Structure 1
Amino acid sequence: MEATVDSTRHRLLAAAEELLLTVGYDSVSVRAICSAAGLNPAAVHYHFGSKEALVAAMLEDRLAPVWANLLDDVERHRREGWVPATADLVDAILEPLTELAADPVGRLRLHLLARVLFSGQRMHWTSPWFSLEPWVALLRAARPDLTGEQAGTRWVLAFQLLLQVFGTPAAPAPTPPRLSPAAVRSFVVAGLDAP
Structure 2
Amino acid sequence: MVEKVGAGTRERLLAAAERMLLVEPYDEVSVRGICAAAGANPAAVHYHFGSKEALVGALIEDRLGPLWVSGLADATAGRDSVPAVVDAILGPFVELVADPLGRMHVRLLARFVLSRQLTSWQGPWFRMDTWAALLPELSASESRRRWSLAFDLIIMRFGSPEIDEHGISERALATLRDFVVAGLTAPVGERA
Q: Secondary structure of the residue that 2:40 maps to in structure 1?
A: coil
CA distance in 2, matches of 1:151, 1:22: 38
Map 1:1-195; keep pairs closer than 5 Å. 1-75=2-76, 84-140=80-136, 144=137, 146-168=138-160, 171=161, 175-176=163-164, 180-195=172-187
Displacement of 1:98 after TM fit?
A: 1.2
CA distance in 2, matches of 1:96, 1:47: 28
State percent identity of aligned pairs. 52
**Is the deviation greater in 146-155 or in 3-12?**
146-155
Letter in 2 for 1:68: V
Post-superposition CA distance 1:29-80 (Å, at most 9, x none): 11111110111221111111111110000110001100011111225xx6xx
Shift of 1:125: 1.5
- CA distance in 1 between partners of 2:83 and 2:168 (Å): 21
Verify the 8 A CA contact 2:35 2:43 in the aligned structure 1: yes
Q: Which amino acid aligns with 1:132?
A: M
TM-score, scaled relative to structure 2? 0.87
* Aligned-partner residue type, residue 56 of structure 1: G
Give me the whole-angstrom Cα distance separating, in 1, the residues matched to 2:27 and 2:134: 36
C-alpha contact (below 8 Å) 1:101/1:107 kept by paired residues: yes
Contact 2:114 2:156 survives alignment (8 Å): no
> Structure 2 CA distance, aligned partners of 1:88 and 1:31?
43
Unaligned 5+ runs, structure 1: none
**What is the alpha-carbon distance in structure 1 between the residues aligned to residue 25 and residue 118 of structure 2?**
22
CA shift at 1:122, angstroms?
Answer: 2.1
Scaled by the length of structure 1, what TM-score is found? Answer: 0.86
Worse overlay, 92-101 or 56-65: 92-101
CA distance in 1, matches of 2:80, 2:100: 32
Map of 2:190 onto structure 1: none
Superposition CA RMSD, Å:
1.8
